[in-house]
Amino acid sequence: MAKIHTHYDNLKVSRHAPQEVIRAAYKALSQKYHPDKNPGDERAARIMAIVNTAYNILSDPVRRKEHDDWIASEEWEVEWLETSHGDEGRGQRGEAQWEPRQVEAPLRWRFLLAPRWWAGMLAFFAAGVVLTVLLVDSPKVLPSALAWAGKPSGTSGASAGAPNSPPEPLGIDASNDGWARPAGPAEAPPDIKALGLTQLVVPARAPDCDTDLQSQVSPNGDPWPAQSGYIDGYPVGNQGEEMQILVDNSNNPSPVLVKIYDLDRRSNVRHAYVLGRTKFLIDKLSAGKYEVRYQNILMGGSRAECVNGRRAALRQAAAR
C-alpha cells in the first residue's frame, strides 16, 4: 500500500512514539536546522517551519488524535483505491532519504467520499422511516385494541401502585399491578387505558363514579400536586435523550394519573399527575417499548357522594 506522509515522518518518529521521544526528536532537528545556526539557508528555514508545525500538532493530545484519525481515513481510502481501481498515483516513497514536507490538511468533510459512510447513512435512513411509520402516528381517539382492563378478577389485595402504598422498587414486575382498582374487591375493574405510542390524547368525557379514581391523596400518601408533574417518591427510570411522550389532557376537565410502563422490563418507570385542560411532556426517556396507562381522578369524597352529586346535577339539568 502507498505510504501516507505524516507529521510523524517529518519528525522521524513512529506513530506510537511517546511524548518524550517526540520532544527529543524535535529538539535534535531544531539544533540542526534552526535558522540561527543556518543563516541564509532557505532549505533549513523551510525544514524548520515544517518541523515546528509537526511538533505543535503531535505535542497536543487533541490535535494528535485528529491527525491519527486522518491517517487512518487516508490509508483506508488508498487501500480501497488500490484494490478497486489500482494505484491512483500515490507512489511508494522510500525511507533511505529523509526529506520533510508539508502534510495535507485533513478535510472535515472528506468522509463524505467514502462509500462505507453512504451505505451506513442509507441504512440509518431506512430504519428511521420504519420507526416513524410505527411510532409517530398521533392518535385522534384511543384505539380500543390497546385498551387495558387492569388485573384479572382472580387477583386479590391492593398492589404496590395503589393510593397510600409505598412506591414499588424499580424493576418489580408491574405487568398487571391493578394500580387503580376501587376499594371494594367485588366491584368491577376501573376504566384504564394503555397505549404503545409517543403521544397520549385523553378524550373529553364526563366524570364516571364507577370507574374513575376517587382519592384525596396521591399514591405516595401526599395530597395531589397543585401543578402537573411527576409524583414525589416514585422512581424516574430509563433516563435518556432518545424518546419523549406528550400527555395531552387539554380536552378533559378531570386530572389524570399516568404511568409509563416499560414493556421489556415489565416495570413502571414514570408516575405523573396531569391537571385537566393541560398538557404534560414526559421527556428524557431512553429508547424502548412503552405503554402509557392513565385513569381519570375524582377529587370528591366517597363513591356514594359522587353518585348523589351526579344525580343532583342531572335533576338540575332536567329542571332547566
Whether 225 and 272 have beta carbons less than 8 Å apart is answered as no
Distance separating alpha carbons of residues 1 and 3, to the nearest angstrom: 6
pLDDT: which is higher, 29 or 185: 29
User: How many helices and strands, by DSSP H and E, does the chain display?
Assistant: 6, 9
Distance separating alpha carbons of residues 69 and 260, to the nearest angstrom: 42
Share of residues in the chain with pLDDT > 90 (%)? 22
Q: Band of the pLDDT at 247, cuts 50, 70, 90?
A: very high
**Structural domain boundaries in the chain:** 1-89, 144-319
Strand partners, 158: none
Residue 12: burial class (beta carbons within 10 Å; 0-12, 13-18, 19+) = middle
Using the structure block, give the residue that is written with the C-alpha cell 527529543: 24
Q: Band of the pLDDT at 307, cuts 50, 70, 90?
A: low
* C-alpha grid cell, residue 293: 396507562
Q: What are phi and psi of 104, to 5 degrees?
A: -60, 125
**Listed residue (310, 186, 284, 309) closest to 230, CA to CA:** 284
Distance separating alpha carbons of residues 232 and 167, to the nearest angstrom: 10
Whether 312 and 303 have beta carbons less than 8 Å apart is answered as no
Q: Band of the pLDDT at 148, cuts 50, 70, 90?
A: very low
Q: Band of the pLDDT at 304, cuts 50, 70, 90?
A: low
Whether 53 and 7 have beta carbons less than 8 Å apart is answered as yes
Which alpha helices (H) appear in the chain, and where do they start and end? 7-11, 19-33, 42-58, 61-85, 115-135, 303-319
Whether 71 and 15 have beta carbons less than 8 Å apart is answered as yes
Q: Band of the pLDDT at 202, cuts 50, 70, 90?
A: confident
pLDDT tens-place string over residues 124-138:
888 888 888 777 654
Query: What number of other Cβ atoms are within 10 A of residue 28's Cβ?
Result: 13
Long-range residue pairs from 119-127, CB within 8 A, at least 24 positions apart, any chain:
none
- The per-residue pLDDT for 26 is 95
pLDDT tens-place string over residues 13-57:
999 999 999 999 999 999 999 989 899 889 999 999 999 999 999
* C-alpha grid cell, residue 260: 409509563
Q: Band of the pLDDT at 234, cuts 50, 70, 90?
A: confident
pLDDT tens-place string over residues 89-111:
444 444 446 777 777 655 455 55
What predicted TM-score, i.e. pTM, was given to this entire model? 0.38
Q: Within 13 Å of residue 273, how many CA atoms lie on the same side as its CB?
A: 21
Average pLDDT over every residue of 282-304: 81
Which span out of 145-159, 183-197, 210-224, 249-263 was modeled with the highest average pLDDT? 249-263
* C-alpha grid cell, residue 212: 374513575
In this structure, which amino acid lies at residue 255?
A: P
Q: Band of the pLDDT at 59, cuts 50, 70, 90?
A: very high
Whether 15 and 8 have beta carbons less than 8 Å apart is answered as yes
Q: What are phi and psi of 274, to 5 degrees?
A: -125, 120
Q: Within 13 Å of residue 104, how many CA atoms lie on the same side as its CB?
A: 10
Q: What are phi and psi of 12, to 5 degrees?
A: 60, 45
DSSP state of 225: P
Any idea which fold 1-89 has? Helix Hairpins (1.10.287)
